Structure 1
Amino acid sequence: MFSDRLFNGLERTDPEPGMLLVAAPGMASPYFARSVVILIEHDVYGSFGVTLSERSETAVHEVMPDWVELIAPPQAIYVGGPVEQQAVVGLGVTLPEVTIAEHPELTRLANRLVHINLNAEPQKLRSLVAGMRLFAGYCSWSPGQLQEEIERGDWFVTPALPSDVTTPGRVDLWGEVMRRQAQPLPLFSTFPANLLDS
């Protein structure tokens, strides 16, 4: 497929926590079509992350009301992936003056972008976090699996921006991420999820 050749022809960036996995135009998996996944863990034991743009119909106040004040609008649970959808993952954007290393409930992913320990008391995070999202479920890859998919041309790897996590649900995040890449990727920013529907 031409999209595989496109991604294979681009300069490679190694995956690591805090990087985005951007689905190739025409991704064969219907679940991951036009998806953007942020990596939270990536090591010899495998990889783990969440899809950023799939909003559920469940409001945060219905299931985790103590966290509502910290949630960026829309205050809904997002679907992080197909694995263990009863598990919840928290990601947030810190306030500019926060030193992440001083707070054990925060794990740095990128500039101001953190993985939040949901065992922490929400009120303790009010002075640390500018906004956050809660994700039900996650995406995971066994050792070596993600690298194989990247080499096959399924994913493009690029740095995340803090705003990627708190982008409103109505925004086409996949298109936005593609538009900020080097040419020729912006040309594919309106590529449909399913060619049969276009």
Structure 2
Amino acid sequence: MTEVSSLTGRLLVATPALADPNFDRAVVLLLDHDEQGSLGVVLNRPTPVDVRDILLPWAPLAGDPGVVFQGGPVALDSALGVAVIPGEEGPLGWRRVHGAIGLVDLEAPPELLAAALGGLRIFAGYSGWGPGQLEDELGDGAWYVVDSEPGDVSFPDPERLWRAVLRRQRSELAMVATYLDDPSLN
């Protein structure tokens, strides 16, 4: 098996050609990527469910909008916390994934992290790919791979994240941000 170059901490941005409705205009933060497969969360799929309705102790720390996000189509009955904590050392209850972005142990007392958190999102479910599956999708042109920024985790207007991530690219990808939701209207 060939070695997989890790994309952990990078963003997968759905191309307009991606046909899977689970990932239409999706921006996925990869939390893990190796030869065993890949795991990430969709950053721009807010649900109508308030964080306080399922994880009340974490609600005051969740960024706006204070709702649960659908991290993907897998294990929708599980929750993941992703947070930004600047600096070299993170508190107990947080594991660095990439740069200032990391996973929150939602079983830990929120007070352990409250002072350090720069942004928190709660996700129901996740997006997962088996060994080689994501590489096949990348080869088929389903995703653009771009660098993440800490602000992506708690972007205040999730519906605009897809365009905002593409717009900040210093390549022809910036032009894709102007792609119409419905090309037949062009």
Q: TM-score, normalised by structure 1?
A: 0.85
Residue aligned with 1:176, SS = helix
Structure 2: stretches of 5+ with no match in the other structure: none
2:80 is aligned, of 75, 79, 89, to 89
* Equivalent pair of 2:16/2:24 in contact (CA under 8 Å): yes
CA-CA distance at 1:110 after TM superposition: 2.4
Equivalenced residues, count: 182
1:182 is aligned, of 165, 170, 181, to 170
Q: Partner residue of 2:11? A: 20
Tell me the alpha carbon deviations over residues 149-185 of structure 1, each in whole angstroms, 9 at most, x when there is no partner.
Answer: 1111111111110100101235510101101112211
CA distance in 1, matches of 2:59, 2:88: 21
CA distance in 2, matches of 1:97, 1:72: 19
Tell me which amino acid in the other structure corresponds to 1:69. Answer: P
Q: TM-score, normalised by structure 2?
A: 0.90
CA distance in 2, matches of 1:131, 1:113: 9
1:51 is aligned, of 31, 42, 59, to 42
Residue aligned with 2:18, SS = coil
Residue aligned with 1:168, SS = coil
Matches within 5 A, 1:57-72: 57-72=48-63
Tell me the alpha carbon deviations over residues 82-112 of structure 1, each in whole angstroms, 9 at most, x when there is no partner.
Answer: 1111111100011x34513xx4522212221
Tell me the alpha carbon deviations over residues 106-135 of structure 1, each in whole angstroms, 9 at most, x when there is no partner.
Answer: 221222111112121111111221220000
Could you say which structure has the greater relative contact order, defined with CA pairs below 8 angstroms and 6 or more residues apart?
1
**1:169 is the counterpart of 2:157:** yes
Residue aligned with 1:69, SS = helix
Structure 1: stretches of 5+ with no match in the other structure: 1-13
Tell me which amino acid in the other structure corresponds to 1:29. Answer: D
Tell me which amino acid in the other structure corresponds to 1:172. Answer: R
CA distance in 2, matches of 1:189, 1:68: 32
**1:156 is the counterpart of 2:147:** no
Residue aligned with 1:31, SS = helix
1:99 is aligned, of 89, 106, 116, to 89
Q: Partner residue of 2:183? A: 195
* Equivalent pair of 1:110/1:162 in contact (CA under 8 Å): no
Matches within 5 A, 1:100-139: 100=90, 103-139=91-127
CA-CA distance at 1:31 after TM superposition: 2.0
* Equivalent pair of 1:55/1:169 in contact (CA under 8 Å): no
CA distance in 2, matches of 1:26, 1:193: 11
CA-CA distance at 1:25 after TM superposition: 2.0
Residue aligned with 1:157, SS = strand
